Structure 1
Amino acid sequence: MIDVLGIGFGPSNLSLAIQLKELAFFNDKKVRFFEKKKSFSWQPGLLLPNTNLQIHFLKDLVTLINPKSPFTFINYLKEQGRLSDFINLNVSYPSRMEFNDYLFWAANKFEDIVSYNSYITDIEPKYDGIQVSHFKVTYVHDNIPNEIETRHLVIASGRSPKIPSAFFQIYDGINVIHSDQFTKSEVHKIAS
């Protein structure tokens, strides 16, 4: 039985992992995250050259909660030897590529508690009388089915493409695409 199971390991659950680590939760609790992708990635279809974030860099994974955290974007820049260069650029919105590198840098610090290439097939609540006491989670890791039980479940499975109903009939992934698929699309190849 583990204490916390996170489904998905994007920025939301990555931020949760950081918080749990900084609150010393890992000292006496068992935590696990499952991610269906084979490795960490953040909006890969939108990692275009010369594009910037639309939010200030201080809205990273942790700064607003703990500015002294070693997981801040500023600390990432310092460890990469890029802090002076970034400050001299006089920008508040880093490139999407650099922010992706920051997220990847932070995610790598949790490799021991993340199972990539894993997806959930069933979640069954278990009861103690009328109260849910824990969950039995069935998952597939590297094509092998498994089960695990957890006291707490955090679902952060990411955004799914939302296709407006007006486009259902013509959405084909070729002429009409979701922005998350842009860098893999024919449109991107033509534009490049």
Structure 2
Amino acid sequence: MTVVSLRDRKRVDTRGKIVAAASALFDRHGLEDVTVDAIAAAADIGKGTVYNYFEAKEDIIVALLVDLDRKALTEIASLPAQGMSVGEALDAAAWKLIDNKAEYRPYVKAFLSRMFAAEDVSPELADYYDQLDEAVEALFERLLARPGMRRALPVDTLVLSFRTMHMGLMAQWAMEGPPYASARVLTRRHMALLAKGLML
């Protein structure tokens, strides 16, 4: 059993307070009009403490979205559901990681801007990507264990293909806006194409 130290619990609690305070302010005032000073005041901590956890307010947005996606990974662990085809299982996984952000489209746009502008991936985001890769790899292994499946490509290549498609689909989703009809259709089509490569 893993024992979490008091210091680690405090760090998690403080991080959670910052993210919750920032999210509430972003919802009320918009992303552009919220300052780090306002986030610190709302979280009842010093501005320096915010910077101990996040280099910029955009990194708080990244943390919020990563938290959403970590929850989605637990749902991906239950795929494929009974009766699902390979394409349907991959589509369900991809869409869980997109549709879970329906209330946070402006955050996704800010996240994509931050990610493409940053020199390096933040440690938190890198850790999440490791978890995503593990979850998607496990899904591919479950799918490949079915009768009639083949390993034409290494699983890590399949995972990279999934992630690349997912990134493009999320960008399409963010640019399109509600009701996200094109993004939904494209997700099904792209995951069906990826599935075909597993069944040849």
What range describes the TM-score normalised by the shorter chain of this pair? under 0.3
> Structure 1 or 2: larger helix share?
2
Superposition TM-score, scaled by structure 1 size? 0.25
> Structure 1 or 2: larger strand share?
1
